[in-house]
A and B are shown apart, each in its own frame.
Chain A
Amino acid sequence: MSVSFLDRLGETATRKLAARSSRRGVLGRMSAAMALAPAFPLLPVARADAASAPAPTLSDFERRAQSRDATKCNYWRHCAIDGVLCGCCGGGVHTCPPGTEPSPVSWIGTCRNPADGRSYVIAYRDCCGRDICATSKDCHCNTADREMPIYRPQASNDIIWCFGTASTAYHCSTAAIIGQAS
Chain B
Amino acid sequence: MRFPLLPVLGVLCALGLSALPRPAPASGAMPVVPVVQGHYLVGCGGCHGVQGRSGRSVVPDLAGQVGYFLCTPQGRDYLVRLPNVAFADLSSQDLADMVNFVVFTLGRDSVPAGATPYTAAEIARLRADPLRLADLHGYRDRVVRGVIGACPRARELHDYDTAQAGREAGRDAP
Q: List chain A positions with a Cβ less than 8 A from chain B.
A: 82-83, 93-94, 104-108, 110, 120-121, 123, 150, 153-155, 157-164, 168, 170, 176-182
Q: State whether B26 touches A94 (Cβ < 8 A).
A: yes
Q: State whether A108 touches B45 (Cβ < 8 A).
A: yes
B108 shortest CB reach to chain A, Å: 20
Q: State whether A158 touches B2 (Cβ < 8 A).
A: yes
Chain A residues in 8 Å Cβ range of B45: 108, 123, 178
Of listed B6, B41, B84, residue having the most chain A CB within 10 A: B41
How far is A179 from B37 in the complex, measured between Cα atoms in Å?
11
Assess A181 versus B26: contact at CB under 8 Å? Given A153-B12, A154-B43, A158-B2.
Answer: no
Q: State whether B26 touches A179 (Cβ < 8 A).
A: no
Q: Which of B4, B31, B46 contacts A106 (CB 8 A)?
A: B46
B162 shortest CB reach to chain A, Å: 16
Q: Which of B2, B6, B38, B41 contacts A82 (CB 8 A)?
A: B2
Q: Which of B9, B32, B49 contacts A180 (CB 8 A)?
A: B32
Chain B residues in 8 Å Cβ range of A108: 41-42, 45-46
Question: Is B50 engaged at the interface, CB distance under 8 Å to the other chain?
Answer: yes
Q: State whether B8 touches A159 (Cβ < 8 A).
A: yes
Q: Which of A93, A107, A155 contacts B26 (CB 8 A)?
A: A93
Question: Is B164 engaged at the interface, CB distance under 8 Å to the other chain?
Answer: no
Chain A residues in 8 Å Cβ range of B49: 104-105
Count class of interface residues, chain B: 35 or more
Chain B residues in 8 Å Cβ range of A123: 23, 45-46, 50
Considering only residues 36-58 of chain B, those with a C-beta below 8 Å from chain A are 38, 41-50, 54-55, 57-58
How far is A120 from B50 in the complex, measured between Cα atoms in Å?
14
Chain B residues in 8 Å Cβ range of A106: 46
Q: Which of B23, B42, B59 contacts A177 (CB 8 A)?
A: B23
Q: State whether B59 touches A164 (Cβ < 8 A).
A: yes
Q: Closest residue to B48 on the A side, CB-wise?
A: A105
Considering only residues 76-102 of chain B, those with a C-beta below 8 Å from chain A are 84
A151 shortest CB reach to chain B, Å: 9
Question: Is B173 engaged at the interface, CB distance under 8 Å to the other chain?
Answer: no
A-B contact pairs, 15 of them (CB 8 A): A104-B55, A105-B55, A108-B46, A121-B33, A121-B42, A153-B12, A160-B4, A160-B5, A162-B4, A163-B5, A164-B58, A177-B24, A178-B22, A178-B50, A179-B31
